[in-house]
Amino acid sequence: MLEVNRHPNITLWTNTEVKDVSGFVGNFNITVQKNPWYVTDACNGCGACFEVCPIVLPNEFQYGLSPRKCIDISFAQAVPAKANIDMDFCVHCYACSRVCEVSAIDMSQEPETETVSVGTIIVATGWNIYNKVTPQYGLGIYDNVLNQIQLERILNPNGPTEGHLVRPSDGKHPKKIMMVNCVGARSTKEGEYAFCSGVCCLVTIKNAKLVLSEYPDAEIVVSYRDIRTPGKDYEEYYLRARNEGITFIRANVGMVEEDPDTKNLICYLETEDGVSEYEADLVVLSTTPYPSQGTDEIAAIMKMERGPSGYLKEFHARLNPINTKTPGVFIAGFAQGPKAVDASVNQGRGAAQAASILMSQGKYEIELVRAVCDYKLCSACELCVQICPYSAITIENGHAVVDEIKCRGCGACPSVCKNNAMSLRYYRNNTFEALIDGTLMIPVVKS
């Protein structure tokens, strides 16, 4: 982040939202809203305001495992490294303003809107983690039930416990840990996801190995349906975890209950041999990642297609997973689909390269095989608007209007037009009729 912020050719806008996107390849107009920090650039991050702020909130960066103040720096490596006030919870006591030695507090700031022109767009909106309250497993109900991302924050040296694994309920080191795979994934239940992320198994194995490296006496049991470790060296990584003493059991955890006295967790495992119980000090759920809220928002703003799982649709799932149906718009990482870090990095590089190649050419050539509308015949029924896969048709002034940049000449609109108002340039009906008549014409033989 620091290197990106210092690069002379990169403008970094944080705390900013995209509100509107219009235009076409080479000439996109993006309207953004820069949300106020309520702190000026004079802030040096000294932290004096944190100490006097009376409002304590859960720390989102630490996934609620530690507190933060209403005025705070988002996380240690945040760019820019200045404080930000959460105005949804601020009580306007002005304690921060009174202690600020550089007079950086400015609660009069308002959102600013700006429109910029760009040639290409790369959408990389990331992911959210499935974190719904689950009575079946106790997530969000029992103190000692975590997800893998919360465990990662605990194991991180800059996490809430400085990298030491402890139970949230009493701060003690857990001796027996149960990890449950496929939570919220590979399921047809309402509110869950049918796909396999392809990364949860590897995250489970990695975190289990990290726990075991610091606490060799820990007993770690992993409940799984199938261990999926595609990729170079990943299967070997899984086998090493088994050899190091991590227990893998093919089982379905039907229920997790808490012992109110010890805060231990009773896990009911369903295996081929029947139902058994396992008492754990800590339960860690491998909950599936899914498209972020930003993916939902940008898809609505840019009218981008999405697949059944909510991810943005690419031009071709196998042959062209970077381009979209809109020329000049590319996708990368989890915005396109679930993938491991290495695949996200590779796709990000591919998207950047594809955008740079397009921009370096200085022009974008298109074929003129495009849909055209005979305004006199058009009844503005909007059938062509609904069927167009490229969002290239709109209704203006009582008739259909085709954006020739977005249109790809697929021919879908003429097939549904009831009035024959829509046609493809160079492929009109009368052209085909003449061709057919000429092909089937029977020569007259004079006797």
Residue 330 shares a structural domain with residue 391: no
Residue 161 shares a structural domain with residue 92: no
Q: Supply 198's token pair.
A: 């392809």
Residue 254 shares a structural domain with residue 173: yes
Task: Show which of 290, 314, 342 is a domain's final residue.
Answer: 290
The CATH number linked to 241 is 3.50.50.60
Residue 230 shares a structural domain with residue 253: yes
Q: What is the DSSP letter of 327?
A: T
Residue 314 shares a structural domain with residue 421: no
The CATH number linked to 399 is 3.30.70.20
Give the integer Cα–Cα distance in Å for 347 and 353: 10
Give the integer Cα–Cα distance in Å for 30 and 291: 22
Number of domains in the chain: 4
Residuewise pLDDT in 10s, the chain (447 residues): 788 888 999 999 999 999 999 999 999 999 999 999 999 999 999 999 999 999 999 999 999 999 999 999 988 888 889 999 999 999 999 999 999 999 999 999 999 999 999 999 999 999 998 888 888 999 999 999 999 999 999 999 989 999 999 999 999 999 999 999 999 999 888 888 999 998 999 999 999 999 999 999 999 999 999 999 988 899 999 999 999 999 999 999 999 999 999 999 999 999 988 999 999 999 999 999 999 999 999 999 998 989 988 999 999 988 999 999 899 999 999 999 999 899 999 999 999 999 999 999 988 888 889 999 999 999 999 999 999 988 899 999 999 999 988 899 999 999 999 999 999 988 877 777 788 888 887 666 666
Residue 114 shares a structural domain with residue 63: yes
Contact 38, 85 (CB under 8 A): yes
Give the integer Cα–Cα distance in Å for 104 and 303: 40
Q: Supply 207's token pair.
A: 């975190």
Radius of gyration of the chain from its Cα atoms, rounded to whole angstroms: 28
* Greatest alpha-carbon span in the chain: 112
Range of the domain at 256: 128-290
Neighbour-count burial of 253, counting CB atoms closer than 10 A to its CB (0-12 exposed, 13-18 middle, 19+ buried):
buried
Residue 101 shares a structural domain with residue 141: no
Residue 113 shares a structural domain with residue 193: no
Give the integer Cα–Cα distance in Å for 275 and 271: 6
